[in-house]
Each structure stands twice: as C-alpha cells, then as structure tokens.
Structure 1
Amino acid sequence: MFQQLQQQLNIDSIYDLDQLSPAQLKQALQAQKIPSIGLRSDSANDIDAYKAQCRKIADIAYHWPSAGLVAVMHMHVVLAFARYPKFIPYSQIMLEDIAKHESLLASLSAEGAVQKQQGFAPLLHQRMSATQFHLNGIKKPASLSHIADYFACMSREASSQEAAMVIIPRNDKVKVDASLWDSEVFNAADTQAVQFDNVMLSADQVADEGSEVIPVMSLALGTFQYMTIQCYLGIAQRLIDKISATFKPYYELRAAMARVQMFSATMCDVIAQQSFNTDTDEGARQFVQSCRYHLQRDIEVLVSNVHKHMSATALVTDKDFAHLMNTLMMLSFHPVAEKSAIREFMPQFNG
C-alpha cells in the first residue's frame, strides 16, 4: 500500500515507517485519497460501505500502524458529522473541504481533564455576543496535533459548565506542545498536546443543546470502538504473518494466533452492524465495547506467547517483532478503558 514511499526512502520495516514525520504520513494518506473514503462511499448511511471502510482501516494498519490509527481518529468523527449534518452547521463546510482536498479532522472529544496538577486545562468557551464565542484550554493526548486541518472537541460553557461540541479550523491561535509523546510506538500519528489560546468561534461552530448531542456522541464512540478493533486486527495480522514466515510456532502460540484470526472471521460482521446503530441503541455501544475488551485479552495472550516461545536471537535481530508487539499492547489505553466501562455498568464496583 505504501510501497512507493518505502522505495523512495529505502525503508523496508514497519518500525522505520512509524518513525517518519506526521507530515509524510499525511501526504501518503492524501495521495491515496484515504481521508475522503467515507464521504465518497456514503459510509455514514450505507452499512456495506461502512464495513468496507473499516476493512480498509485494517489494511492500512497492516502496512503502517501509525497511518491506521490516524485513519481511525479521522474517520469515526467524519462519519458522525456526515450522518448528522445539521448538528453543527459549520460541519457541512468542513465535510466539503475533506471531500475536495482530503483534509484531516482530529477528534479530541475524549481527551482532557480537570486535574490541573497533571497539566490539563479543560476547554472552556465563553459567549461574547449572540453570534460569537471565545475558547481556551488544552487537549492531550491529541493525535494529529500538527497535521489536522480541523479539530472536533468537547468543551464547557464558562459560566454554566454545560457541555458542548465545537469544530475548530486550524489557525494561528492553535498551538502544539510537541514534548508529550516520547515513544516509538505510533510515533507518526502525531500525538501531542494542543492548546487553544483565545480562539474565536462563530455560533455555527458550536452545538450546545438539542436532541442530537447524545446520538452523535454515541455514534462517534461506537464507530470509534469498531474502527479501533479493525486497526489492531490489521496490526495483529501483520505480526501473525511475520511469525509464520520466520519460525514454526509451538501449539500454544499457534492457538493464540488462531484466536485472533477467529475473532476477525466470526465477530467483525456482527460488531460492524451493532456499531453502525449505536446512535439509536445504547446496548449496541456496550456490546461493541465488550467485544473490544475481548480482543484486548486475546491480543495480550498472543503477545505473551510470542515472548514465551520465540528465540531471543529472532527478537533482537528484527526490530519489527518488538515494535509490533509494543504497538498491540496500546489497545487497552484507548478510550473507553475497560475499568471505566465496568464502573459504568456495575456501579457497585465504585468506591
């Protein structure tokens, strides 16, 4: 998929691809018109197009993990705005730009916190007039920090603390602190801290009330979970293929490999259907999340068995083995974390 780029740069490993710059990743995605795939196929309203789009994410991640993650972060929120085009009027301008120019949208709806000691300053917007807001705050970790053309964020009204979703086009009031991410995993996905410094917003960039808030957020979360599943299945398949081509695994490792492939073959069609309906079915969102946690455990067993059964020589002489395994272990850190979902589902566990 990215062979031409690899040839130009004389790169033949997954590890080296993930160390390229975010700008190079963005250019590679745009060259293949990946940012507009969902809009061109109408995946927001066509289940077959949605399934095909998610399979594409797995294919992208198989060849370049950072690119797969960027595709997830962009595509799930584009789909939500495409299904609900009136939710934030400005979104129609943004979607047209994505369709015409392959622009990238970063979803920062889950990031940020109120713990000031951790360096977070939650986004706050203040109404300055009937048609104008000012917005300030920090979002981190935030993928696509330097390469996003637009940011979709959750914010709170300064006085009432009411939650709202806002769309912010990149401008000189949006600044990036590039000191956050110090990892070789998903390095090109550009996960840093984004600061919004007195950004001016018009009323058509803010959605602070109305019946569509919960459905839009539920749909974005549900499709994010399934697209993330597909991303990590693509990375896992790359590791499985590498193992199969390098050495003959013991039964325990073969079984771990088979479980991941069985999940992909038997579960994905059902999960896709459920995630497509999470704006109207709360149970569907919980089902999709539960499936993701199931995959997490299968991947943890796979990685554990690779460490257990492969030779030290194979591990230290091929940096892609360790890189792929470290990348797969990041799945548990994506929102919503399993412990948070359990607390929501079983409140008696809180305390």
Structure 2
Amino acid sequence: MTVRDVYLPVAAQPSVETLVGMSQLAEDHGYERVWLPETWGRDAVTTLTSIAEHTDDVGIGTSVMNVYSRSPALVGQTAATLQEVSDGRLRLGVGPSGPIVIEGWHGVDFERPLRRTRETIDVVKQVLSGETVNYDGDIFQLSGFRLRCDPPDPVPPVDAGGLGPKSVELAGRFADGWHALLLTADGLEDRLEDFTRGTELGDRDRSEQRVTLSLPCCALEDRERARELTRQHVAFYIGGMGTYYRDALARQGYEDTAYEVAEKWASGEQDAATEAIGDDLLDAIAVAGTPEECLDHIDRFEGIDGVDAINVSFPRAADREAIDATIDVLAP
C-alpha cells in the first residue's frame, strides 16, 4: 500500500512555529511522515527537533541532508540524536545536492558526488550501529570513533536522493530507500529498474526498502492559480538549480522544453521560462488543479508499481492558505 507524506515547503516560512504548525496539520490528517529539505534557510536538525517535540506520531525526515557540509560521523551523531528526541520516528535522507549549493553556498569542491554519498551512508550506518568505526575509504578514513551514548533503537533507515541512473543504482545498493523527484511515470519506471538493479547488486531485500516520490502539488478551487503556481515552481527547478533537473527532464523525452526553460531563465526571462512549461509536462510531473482533478491525478502516480510513498510537496510561491488547503484535500 502506498502511503502519503508531506514535504515541508522549500521556500522560506515566517517562523519555525509555522513549520511546526504544518507538521501538526499533517499529523492530524493522517500523513505518515513530514520531510524537511535543507537549503539556505533554517537548518533541518534544529527545525526537526522542534517538530518532534510538538508532535506525537508523525514521522520526521531529512530530504535531503547534503553529504558535503557535515562529516559522515557528525551526520551519524545527528541521526542518533534526532531518533532519540523523536522517540524513534526518524528516517534520514542524504544526497550530494549540486554544485550551486555545495560550491556556491558552502565553499566546498563538488567532487566525486557518488563516491562521497556511498561512503557517507557506510559511515553513518556504522555510527548508528554503536560499534567502533574503523573505515578506510577513498575519501574518508576514520579510526576509533564510537558513540558515547547508547545507539538508537530502532536504528533509523538511511535513504539516498538521486536523479540519474548511477545515483539511483547506488541508492538501491547501499541505502534503505530512494527519494525521487521531477520524474514522469515513464521516467520513474526507468529509474526503478536502476534501483532494482542496485538492490540486486547489494544483495538487499527490496521489501525492506522504500521508494518515495516527491510531487509538486497544489489543489485549489481556483484552478488557474494552482497551475500557475506549480508551473513557476517547475520552471525554477529546471532553470534556477543548475543542470541536474534540466538533464533529468531531457532524459525523459523533454529535451527541447528543458533547454528552452533553462536558457530563458538564465537570460532573465523568468516569465517566458514559466510559459514554456506546457500542460502536458506539468501534468506529467506534478499534481495541480481543482481538488477533484488532484485527487484523480495523484491516484495515478500511486498506482505505479514500485512506489511506496508519495511525498506531497508545494510550489515555492504557495502561501500558507494554499499549503493548508492542499494538505487537507490530499490527506490519506
């Protein structure tokens, strides 16, 4: 059975209290988990701690914590602490992010992202086991590290984000789940094959892994507003977040549109970039429109074999009223 989660807004919010309130609403509506991205606003760890303290049952997670701005040992310590304060409700999501974030905002070279992600997952899992960590990787070498507190029980799962074939295969091979986004149904099925291949290479039990698909969603009585907000959101990701999302769409048969959006965005024509997102592409990677349309549309994504959770996310420019309305309409 496919579950529904909430992906808390990537855009800035008025306060941590606002994000706590959204999480409480998600909990009241029966969503399984709230995921928090970590970009250039409030850090995920402090915010998730506050959410954990003010909720009872809803799961919490990072989607995703990048593997460059914290050491793997610190990520492991952080996961152990979040698991403690949430009474076992954490699911950790990690990933490489991209050059704009890592080099531009953190001042770290974006080198060997796949290898760094794999070694981070390896070290984090060893830290969470409570055993002494002696690790001799290509990037990280650790000797004698061990948690001073008791290891978490249960151990939180560690997921990986990824867009391309190799990164998704890596998630299947080494992680407990994969976070997918900006994928059409056909594109998702292709990447699910990569994930399954990784599962087999790693001799993993697929039934114990989780594939989470994040969908930009906006369910409003004002259909055109819902679709325009979502169209702007998609254009930002393709045009304003480097080449990863552009290239991912190009692989899925939207090469002309992806490059047109990226070029217009780069030249400062953001309105034109948004207009280049046609209805066919919007409906292929997002859920936007009236409540009735959105309920029907999200069901189609949930019907894709291999998807274990749908992550209801929101357009960057959506206000609190639109976010709350969408949470209400798409509640499990």
What TM-score comes out, normalization by structure 1 length? 0.27
Q: Which has the larger radius of gyration?
A: 1
